[in-house]
Chain A
Amino acid sequence: MNPFRFVSDVSHEAIVVDRLFFLLVGISVLIAGLVTALVVIFGVRYRKDSPAPRRALPQMLKNEVEIGWISATAFLFFFIFWWAAAGELSALTAPKNALDIHIVAKQWMWHAQQPNGIREINEIHAPINTPVRLVMTSQDVIHSMFLPALRIKQDVLPGRYTYLWFNAQKAGTYHLLCAEFCGTEHSRMTGRIVLMTQPEYSRWTETEAPTHGLAAQGETLFRSLGCSGCHGPNASVHAPDLDHLYGHRVQLSDGRVVTADEAYLRDSILQPRRDIVAGYKPLMPSFRGIVSEDDIVRLIAYLKSLSTKNVLNQQGERQ
């Protein structure tokens, strides 16, 4: 495994963070140096009974000095804020084509699911030069996904999804740590992230791939749990159509409009009465306690595949 490094070139974002860090180190050294130098100079020059003259500053000059360093400090701090904020905004949301890897954290392990259904424990394989998005949730307490080589971190919460995305540029094996104190074996909740070139990653996914990908596993669940009984094409019950759903806007009965993302799909499975689609009755039972977090990941993968598959089909039909 690659060691922890004080300077990282594993991703563009890491380089940006390091650059800001060293800018701040430089500013801090200057300010701390200035303060130290003044304390030393004044301490020596104005030590008790030294011959240096003590002239009282005129009040006017005093005010100017005070106003001067208040404005200088404020200006400097706002400049740093602007620089840092620009850095944050540039990396705010993952590109739409990002590769989604699902993460379920629990005391005290990381569980990853690749798009094609490969399951990993305390290990994530991901390609470089590709935007990768981690879609994360926790089964118990708050954990935090910390990838120091990539200079990123995101808390992983029970009951909702949080996201972390990166676009690495350097292959290698790097540390993966839990950064939020999560109980007894917190410090052992560690693993590694294996960043591979795209051909290597494709080879790895092919050799490791289970017979059924994540979406296929989700489709099996969709039938066995009885979802298809209502949401299927031949259902007798009036339930929303799930084709075209993922990533699209949904009109709710209370007037809100939401985007059907992972969090929405998850909530609709576990708390179906929370967001009722306009024009439908609140008939669906909750699947809380019936499906695990891993199952939800599979179901969501299936629903996402419905959306992309249809787009492809439509494109095919048009051609």
Chain B
Amino acid sequence: MTDITVDRLPETKIGESYLDEGHSLASWLTTTDHKRIGILYALSITAFFFIGGAAIGLVRLELLEPHGLFLTDEEYNRLFTLHGIIMVWFFLVPSIPTTFGNFLLPMMIGAKDVAFPRLNLMSWYLFVIGATFTIITIIAGGVDTGWTFYTPLSTLYANGNVIAAAAGVFVVGFSSIATGINFIATTHMLRAPGMTWTRLPLFVWAIYATSVVMILATPVLAMSLLLVSVERWFGVPIFNPNNGGDPLLFQHLFWFYSHPAVYIMILPAMGVISEVFACFARRKVFGYTAMVYSLMSIAVIGFMVWGHHMFVAGQSPYANLVFSFLSFVVAVPSAIKVFNWVATLYGGQIVFKAPMLYAMGFLGLFTVGGLTGLFLASVPIDIHVTDTYFVVAHFHFIMVGGSVSAFFAALHFWWPKITGRLYPDYWARFGAITMFLGFNATFLPQFVMGYEGMPRRYHVYPEQFQVYHVISTAGTVLLAVAYILPLLYLGWSLLYGNRADRNPWHAAGLEWETLSPPPKENFERTPTVTSGPYSYGEDAEPQAHTA
């Protein structure tokens, strides 16, 4: 295998770093540089991550006692709703695509920018408008529907600011759609000469698949929230059964978006893990073609499984069987990905740097999350455990154990490229291990209490479950440490970290061929690609690669 070849001009001709293209606030707020927009997104979603984390921190503290410690029922309900809304729509959905996708996708395919740079900036402003509605919702006292906005609770009975919250999610949806359109157009139109579809890094494929899901599913979310607002505001009977509406219609619409949204949250993570495993095992990703097909089939089949959220909702038992079957089908490509990542390690030269530790954490937690998904796809078990902590644990294994671990893997992998600085690997590895342990301490007990029958969204609960809740809250403390720690050492790295060279990991991929941090145009000259991704020396000669 030959290395990816890049025509490189002498260093002296290279433009300055994208970070030095203006230091004023205005230069950031009017930028159309995909890298700067990625940074804007990163700052915004980080803020929301900690707001959503603070909300659930209070919830976990409250749950130390079966009868509550310091919150009223109403406050408790508003806090977990806030946590859900913020974490899903203001962190997880935008997380990897809008930050690393924005920063890296054009570089990975050898482009100067995304296809529509101004639309890209507009998506960030849409995000900010949506975020403003959410902040207003919080200041006005919150909302008490759960992130799922189930009708007729949300339209007729809830006390909170449902319309403001729905407006926030509605607007931020358009940000997703715009970003998705941009990534699809970029991947189709702006690939460098020689960058064929089969030479695309798997991260690009993952972002591409995600974008397809985004633009197809998000409009349905917008519609359903619009209908909720119309019924709540004007009393138009859509979901209210007393006037001929159907409350289950909302659940069908909502999950038609929200199940694919799970794949919006996890597919980019899968892309990240493929890049990191290849780099730190010094191997080509095992079964590239199978990996691409599984990404795309997850994206497609993911649209046909929404009914598995509604096994006890009152839909036909025969529909349950069909959705159960399709849910098992969609689990196959996810399992294939896990096996292929493991096989990528075979015959490698594995180095356990921080990004690799986060990625291995992903692998373990995603596997458990995926396996417990099989329990929930089985109708009789789902009937018992749906709406219990078993489900809570399951989707946190996917969303936090999977997506958030991958987000941190990406952050540590591409940090030198994005900032041009190195970070202390020791602290980063400490953070990765703390996160893994804290996560398991938080969520493993939830499987047990969920199967015993502890319902989710319970402010007060039977005393029997206290021991599990105490362990879970203790785990949360560890998790909080693991989340705050990177703020410190990455902040330190920004100020005092050693300068990174172009390719501190000796990684394959076009983004590593340019400077760290890259110039505004990304490359000195448009690269020409002559081989597939992951040229890590298939014959496995030991390579030197130290940061």
Q: Which residues of A contact B (CB under 8 A)?
A: 3-6, 13, 16-17, 20-21, 24, 27-28, 31-32, 35-36, 38-39, 42-43, 46-49, 54-57, 62, 65-66, 69-70, 73-74, 77-78, 80-81, 83-85, 87-89, 91-92, 107, 140-142, 144, 146, 148-149, 151-155, 157-160, 162, 175, 177-188, 271, 288
A43's nearest neighbour on chain B, judged by CB, is B350
Kindly state the separation between the CA atoms of A185 and B159 in the bound complex, as whole angstroms. Answer: 12
Question: Which chain B residues numbered 327 to 356 have a C-beta less than 8 Å away from chain A?
Answer: 328-329, 331-332, 335-336, 338-340, 342-343, 345-352
Q: Is B381 part of the binding interface, using a Cβ–Cβ cutoff of 8 Å? A: yes
Does B7 belong to the interface (CB within 8 Å)?
Answer: no
Residues on the A chain within 8 Å of B372, using CB: 28
B498 to chain A, nearest CB (A): 21
Given A24-B374, A49-B349, A159-B242: A187 and B290 within 8 A (CB)? no
Closest chain A residue, CB of each to CB of B345:
A42
The answer on a CB contact under 8 Å between A155 and B350 is: no
Does B259 make an interface contact (CB < 8 A)? no
11 A-B pairs besides A141-B150, A188-B460 with CB distance below 8 A are: A24-B381, A31-B371, A35-B364, A48-B350, A56-B540, A65-B343, A81-B328, A155-B312, A178-B455, A179-B388, A185-B73
Are A4 and B324 CB-contacts (below 8 A) given A20-B381, A28-B372, A160-B314?
A: no
In the complex, B185 has a CB within 8 A of chain A: no
Number of residues on chain B facing chain A (CB within 8 A): 88
Binding site for A on B (CB under 8 A): 73-74, 77, 144-146, 148, 150, 152-153, 156-159, 241-242, 244, 247-248, 281, 286-287, 290, 312-314, 317, 320-321, 324-325, 328-329, 331-332, 335-336, 338-340, 342-343, 345-352, 360, 363-364, 367-368, 371-372, 374-375, 377-381, 383-384, 386-388, 448, 451-462, 464-465, 538-540, 542
A39 with B360, Cβ < 8 A, contacts A17-B380, A46-B281, A187-B458 known: yes
Check A186–B350 contact: CB distance below 8 A.
no
Which chain A residues border B380 with CB–CB below 8 Å? 13, 16-17, 20, 84, 87-88, 91, 151
Assess A151 versus B383: contact at CB under 8 Å? Given A24-B378, A80-B374, A175-B462: yes
Nearest 10 A/B pairs, CB to CB: A159-B241, A148-B453, A84-B378, A54-B540, A42-B345, A187-B458, A179-B387, A28-B371, A4-B452, A141-B153
Collect the chain B residues with CB atoms within 8 Å of residue A144's CB: 312, 387
Q: Can you give 8 contacting A-B residue pairs, CB < 8 Å?
A: A35-B338, A46-B348, A55-B347, A77-B331, A77-B335, A85-B379, A141-B152, A142-B313
Contact A39:B287 (CB < 8 A) given known A77-B328, A81-B378, A159-B241: no
Separation in Å of the A19 CB from the closest CB of chain B?
10
Is there contact, CB below 8 Å, between B363 and A39?
yes
| A54 and B347 in contact, given A146-B455, A158-B247 (Cβ under 8 angstroms) | yes
**Chain A contacts of B156 at CB under 8 A?**
140-141
- Is there contact, CB below 8 Å, between A85 and B321? yes
> Does A187 contact B459, Cβ atoms closer than 8 Å?
yes
Contact B144 A153 (CB under 8 A): no
Instruction: Closest A residue to B461 by CB, please name it.
Output: A187
Query: A62 to B464, Cβ gap below 8 A?
Result: no
Cβ–Cβ contact A43 & B345, under 8 A: yes
Bound complex: CA A35 to CA B366 (Å): 11
Contact, CB under 8 Å: A184 / B377: no
Q: In the complex, A172 Cα to B387 Cα: how many Å? A: 24
On chain A, the residues within 8 Å of B320 by CB distance are 88
CB pair A187 B374 closer than 8 Å: no
Name the distance in Å between A59's Cβ and chain B's nearest Cβ: 11
Is there an interface contact between A187 and B73, defined as CB atoms closer than 8 Å?
A: yes
- A contact residues around B335 at 8 Å (CB): 69, 73, 77
In the bound complex, residues from chain B placing their C-beta under 8 Å from that of A177 are 453, 455
Contacts of B329 in A (CB 8 A): 77
Do A157 and B384 contact each other (CB < 8 Å), given the known contacts A47-B350, A88-B379? no
Dominant SS at the B interface? helix
Q: Find the A residue at minimum CB distance from B327.
A: A81
Q: A187 is contacted by which of B150, B375, B384, B457 (Cβ under 8 Å)?
A: B457
Q: Which residue of B lies closest to A148 (CB)?
A: B453
Q: A32-B368, A179-B387 are in contact. Are A85 and B324 (CB under 8 A)?
A: yes
Closest to A159 in B: B241
Alpha-carbon distance between A182 and B156 when the two chains are bound, in angstroms: 12
In the complex where A80-B378, A153-B383, A179-B387 touch, is A184 in contact with B73 (Cβ < 8 A)? yes
Q: Taking CB as reference atom, which chain A residue is nearest B315?
A: A155
Please indicate which of the listed interface residues A32, A148, A185 has the most CB atoms of chain B within 10 Å of its own CB: A148
Cross-chain contact A179 with B73 (CB below 8 angstroms): no
Residues of B within 8 A of A149 (CB): 453
Report how far A77 CA is from B455 CA in the complex, Å. Answer: 27
**Most chain B beta carbons < 10 A, residue from A35, A62, A65, A149:** A35
Report the minimum CB–CB distance from B385 to chain A (whole Å). 9
Q: How far is the CA of A185 from the CA of B460 in the complex (A)?
A: 9
B312 — which chain A residues lie within 8 A by C-beta? 144, 153-155
* Contact assessment for B247 and A35 in the assembled complex, using a CB-CB cutoff below 8 Å: no
Contact B540 A175 (CB under 8 A): no
Whether A186 lies near B464 (C-beta < 8 A) is no
> For residue B371, which residue of chain A has the nearest CB?
A28
- Residues of chain B contacted by A13 (CB below 8 angstroms): 380
Contact A181 B150, beta carbon cutoff 8 Å = yes
B153–A74 touching, CB < 8 Å:
no
Report the nearest A residue to B317, measured CB to CB.
Answer: A92
> CB-CB < 8 A to A43: which residues of B?
345, 350, 352, 360
Which residues from B are CB-within-8-Å of A271? 244
Contact B346 A42 (CB under 8 A): yes
Q: How far is the CB of A252 from chain B (nearest CB, A)?
A: 18
In the assembly, what is the distance between CA of A28 and CA of B159, in Å?
42
- Give A136's nearest chain B residue, CB to CB: B314
A73's partner among B74, B324, B336, B375 (CB-CB below 8 A) is: B336
List chain B residues, Cβ under 8 A from A49: 349, 542
B381 x A17 contact (CB < 8 A): yes
Q: A188 CB to closest chain B CB, in angstroms?
A: 6
What residues of A have a CB within 8 angstroms of the CB of B539 in the complex?
54, 56
Chain B residue numbers with a CB within 8 Å of A154 are 312, 314, 383
Given contacts A4-B453, A157-B241, contact A184 B159 (CB under 8 A): yes
Is the pair A175, B381 in contact by a Cβ cutoff of 8 Å? no
Given contacts A84-B324, A88-B317, A184-B159, contact A70 B453 (CB under 8 A): no
Q: Do A69 and B367 have beta carbons less than 8 Å apart?
A: no
State whether B451 touches A21 (Cβ < 8 A): yes
Q: Which residues of A contact B281 (CB under 8 A)?
A: 46
Q: Are A31 and B455 in contact (CB under 8 A)?
A: no
Q: How far is the CA of A6 from the CA of B324 in the complex (A)?
A: 24
Q: Judging by beta carbons under 8 Å apart, are A81 and B152 in contact?
A: no
Query: What's the nearest-Cβ distance from chain B to residue A72, in Å?
Result: 9
**Which B residues touch A159, using CB under 8 A?**
241-242, 247
With both beta carbons as reference points, the residue of chain A lying nearest to B320 in the complex is identified as A88
Say whether B375 contacts A21, CB under 8 Å: yes
Give Cα A38 to B340, complex, Å: 12
Shortest Cβ distance from A14 into chain B, in angstroms? 8
Report Cα–Cα, A80/B375, bound state, in Å. Answer: 9
Residue pair B345, A6 in contact (C-beta under 8 Å): no
Considering only CB atoms, which chain A residue lies closest to B326 in the complex?
A81
The smallest C-beta distance from B464 to any residue of chain A, in angstroms, reads 5
Partner of B248, one of A74, A89, A153, A157: A157
Give Cα A13 to B384, complex, Å.
11
| The residue from B158, B364, B542 contacting A36, defined by CB atoms under 8 A apart | B364
Complex interface: chain A residues within 8 A of B331 (CB): 73, 77
Q: Which residues of B contact A84 (CB under 8 A)?
A: 324, 377-381
